[in-house]
Structure 1
């Protein structure tokens, strides 16, 4: 089986967030040769800052990492019916970098939230955010991890049968998308 590199973008800055755990579990199920969790702790996008100082080095490094990866995993919490500001800010900054790091890149999106819909609305909005980047976004299976704080064991593995099965199917689809 071919080995691939993945980068994960978590819409939560919390170290042990459910979205970060979901990304790690997805990478484990994918059996990625290399998995990098991106640092989205970036300055707020500010056109004046960009004009005066250019794109911050951390943003360019993130953009370069996306370009280098074989595929991207994105997981977002749901805040006020949409993705987190952290994730939107990162996407806005990346859109300002040189080159087209996202162009034709396979991307799998997922969401984890405390509510019963598991971030479904946030994920739908996120999918719209990705359109200008011209990515090859997987359409399913959709992963909306509900009651997310109770879905992982002490080792970070998903509990139950449905979520692990669906996440594995999404990762198999991502592998096929990379190979096409």
Structure 2
């Protein structure tokens, strides 16, 4: 199985990229590709730009990555309660590809983390409602609050209940998509 993992952030120190990378390692015996949104940076979407210049090749490249995956692992950064502008811009461009739903009807494990107590809950709620219209088949969601206090790359989640919750959700995603 091929898994495509990415964070909805263009920060070089993205905690959501750290998080999605960590979670991807739980899918043993899978081919994992972790994308960096910085590799898909495009001009800010506008209908005038699309009319004059067409769709950027990077939009097609990103869509092709989705199309080759069996499962999407996505962890969203929350900026002012919503998607980061880098991620939203990418969605806007990919959505303009004719005859395409952004996420290509792929199963998705949708996540978010943040330094705060809500763990990106606002952006997760928005995405959970929106992404199915864009061709995501959301299998499971997970939010990790207090990232800096509850997580490190060596030991994972320090909070026992959250660690158990993640393990159960990973098992569900594996069972529904790899069995």
TM over 0.5: yes
Match of 2:134 in 1: 133
2:167 is the counterpart of 1:178: no
- TM-score norm. by structure 1 comes to 0.85
The answer (yes or no) to whether the contact 1:7–1:71 under 8 Å persists in 2 is yes
**145-154 vs 87-96, which moves further:** 145-154
Listed as ranges, the gaps of 5+ residues in structure 2 are none
2:66 is the counterpart of 1:66: yes
- TM-score norm. by structure 2 comes to 0.85
Q: How many residues align?
A: 175
User: Structure 1 pair 160/8, CA: closer, same or farther in 2 (3 Å)?
Assistant: same
Q: For residues 106-137 of structure 1, what are the alpha-carbon distances to aligned partners after superposition, in whole Å with 9 as ceiling and x for unaligned? A: 01111111110111111001112213223211
The answer (yes or no) to whether the contact 1:76–1:83 under 8 Å persists in 2 is yes
User: Which residue, out of 2, 19, 31, partners 1:5?
Assistant: 2
Distance 2:2 2:51 in 1: 33
Instruction: Give the secondary structure class of the aligned counterpart of 2:36.
Output: coil
Deviation at 1:166, TM superposition (A): 2.1
Listed as ranges, the gaps of 5+ residues in structure 1 are none
Match of 1:148 in 2: 147
Q: For residues 122-171 of structure 1, what are the alpha-carbon distances to aligned partners after superposition, in whole Å with 9 as ceiling and x for unaligned? A: 10011122132232112x4x421111123332537333323332222222
User: Structure 1 pair 16/170, CA: closer, same or farther in 2 (3 Å)?
Assistant: farther
Q: For residues 65-117 of structure 1, what are the alpha-carbon distances to aligned partners after superposition, in whole Å with 9 as ceiling and x for unaligned? A: 00110011111122222222222222222211245362331011111111101
Q: What root-mean-square deviation, in Å, do the aligned CA atoms of Structure 1 and Structure 2 show?
A: 2.1
The answer (yes or no) to whether the contact 2:22–2:153 under 8 Å persists in 1 is no
